[in-house]
A and B are shown apart, each in its own frame.
Chain A
Amino acid sequence: MSTIAPTSVAVRPGTVVAGAFVALVVVAAVAPQLLTSGTPTQIDLRNALATPSWSHPFGTDEAGRDLLTRVIHGTGLSLGIGLGATGVSMALAIVLGAVAALVGGVVDTVVTRILEVTFAFPSLLAALLIVAVYGPSVTTSIVAVGIGSMPGYARMVRGQVLAVKQSGYIESAHALGHSPWTVFRRHLLPNAMRPLVAVVTLGIGQSIVWASSLAFLGLGVPPPSPEWGALLDAGRNYITTSWWLAILPGLVIVAFAIAVTALGRSLQQRLEGAAR
């Protein structure tokens, strides 16, 4: 293990902004009542399609519901699906990738074939089939997006584990008398996963975008869910008459994806700096 103290990397202002935004989003996800007092289902048909104003910063939708409140309440759903899907992906990817790389031989070939098959399934098709069988819901979205993104991660994990395994580093760890499980847990896995941190954080952003795509096609969480993609789907028909319904939630999605990616990269740079 490196004993050199991690060099401090200067924190760029961009990273600070990204971090603050992500923190805000997390607060919105976990405790929306801190940010807004309204409920996302407060229907007020007489006040429908109101333009953004002081009392309704994001305007209201076709049922008179305050859009900002809905976006805030939808954060938990969107973020939850994104994290859940990424979690499912990574869990499957680590299991499959590490097993394939470590055990090698026939197991490796079989797993690689399985990955090829799942790769050949466009993620949306997998999602369509899963939703068609089990109906649209939060769980279905998580599973569908998770399975769809898994093959890419599995391949990367496998590649990384192979690289670490073949480096002299692991042999010396063995030579020092560590048990295989300790070697795996303390040396192999962290070293293999470190370069993937940026990929995973990028993946969270992407999972949220993909989950919202499902919702956009009507395959996501059923209405009146305030999930971001569902909001955009609902706003689609009003884009020429009430632009805020289709623009503002989209900006939130994009901003969050950018922020998460930026954080991920900066995190990656720090970790790589620390490892040297």
Chain B
Amino acid sequence: MKRFTELFTAIDHTTKTSEKVAAIVSYLADSDDQSTLYAVALLIGNRPRRPVKTSDLKAWAVAAAGIPDWLFEESYHIVGDLAEAIALVLPPNPLSEHDYRLPDVIDELSSLPERSDEQKKEVITDYWQHLGKDERFVFTKLITGNFRMGVSRQLVIKALSIHLGMEEAAVAHRLMGKWVPAAETMASLFAEPEQGNRDFQPYPFYLAYQLDSTLESLGDIRDWYIEKKLDGIRGQLIVRNGRLYVWSRGEDLLTDKFPEFRPLADTLPDGTVIDGEIIPWQDGRPLSFQVMQTRIGRKNLSQKSLQEAPLVMVCYDLLEWKGEDIRDMPMHYRRNLLETLLSSPTRHPALLLSETMPFSNWGEVAVFRRQARDFHCEGVMLKRRDSAYGSGRRRGNWWKWKTDPLTADGVLIYAQSGHGRRANLYTDYTFAVWDDAGTLVPFAKAYSGLTDKEIVELDTWIKRNTVERFGPVRSVTPHHVFEIAFEGIQQSGRHKSGVALRFPRILRWRRDKKADEANTKADLLQLIAAMENS
């Protein structure tokens, strides 16, 4: 635990990616194979499920610290992070010589759900007693379930690539899917897989950056495939040895969530991997993302929900064909195979081809992108015809070009303190628009979009202009106006304003506007009507 905590601290102490990679490489060099596997799993966010209830954890910490519940709650509110608050209130233990192996700790935590509450308490309190302050924090963080190491997957891949002397793309591939460190060895994970034993494993997704240069700089439009950018779930559909696996980009295995795709196990040839967008689809066009969300959230899929949100995969790439990894082949080659596959008369109706748009010049692309919402998409994807299928987010060959967000001006009415880096600062805001009666009704919550400097300035203002406090929330004088950007808007019975926004965030602080110049509920309803008519 000590060495792993050092790694955590080293990563936490720097913002420079080169130093983060160096810290990981040095950890890998110091560690045995098993510790390496467990650490890598944690670094890429593959952690054990939460072994105990948060309320139990709090109760045990309060007992061990010998303080009343309310004082712990006060402290927790100030710290903003449960694991950190617990590590800090426990009796100091600065010079602990005790150390534990990371794999042993994780294995013990993984075994906790089967044990009695009394045993759980004993195990965890015992660790707390014997770990030093920093190790206590990391240990408790592993339990509270929001453990994040502050490194991107790409950096972990880079470090492993240096450590193993293996190409980054190969490392990235081996790390895909939800593997369990206890069931792996370095060899099973990183050596060339034997036939059949890693059938489930998806390829790393190739991700595009938002276009940040002019279209003209991309050169001849004939060198590019241009597709609609759909607003579904990016997924990979795998058929190997008669079995189907559907992975989301977030590396969740969602096969069971999509019964529509089940027949593909029999109809697609073995050794087929398709990359595409999983999206609810009816009458030749996509349904809104909300429909998808409701469906994904369902524990049990009823016949009704299957009918309300019938899913398809709009396929845009073929990564494996007849068992062969064809990601290095140019896109036009892959695309031809994909088109052939999908034009087969036995094609399953749940598989659609992502059409390429027949634009003849960049100006047409720009016009289309501006009106993208009218065409049920959120912009365009630009993919170079001769590009290989890369790994991770790369610049150059694939670009996304999203349409401008919708916006509305709202008045700040509530603020709540944030967590982690933003603990103790009012950073979570609620914005309101005016209704017909001249009352402000909340319509959006947003956490991001301001600079650190603006956050501090607004925080000071909030503290001085608080009207009322409700626990961690303060209501403030309606004064400041912010331009809120969002990707979609829908009528909603659950919100006071009658609308629900998708991805709201702060676009800018409109210091030039007074509160009464903010938008109205009527404006928003009009916006919805206009979109539905399109």
Verify that A and B bind, or say they do not.
no
Residues of B within 8 A of A (CB): none
Using CB atoms and an 8 Å cutoff, list the residues of chain A in contact with chain B: none
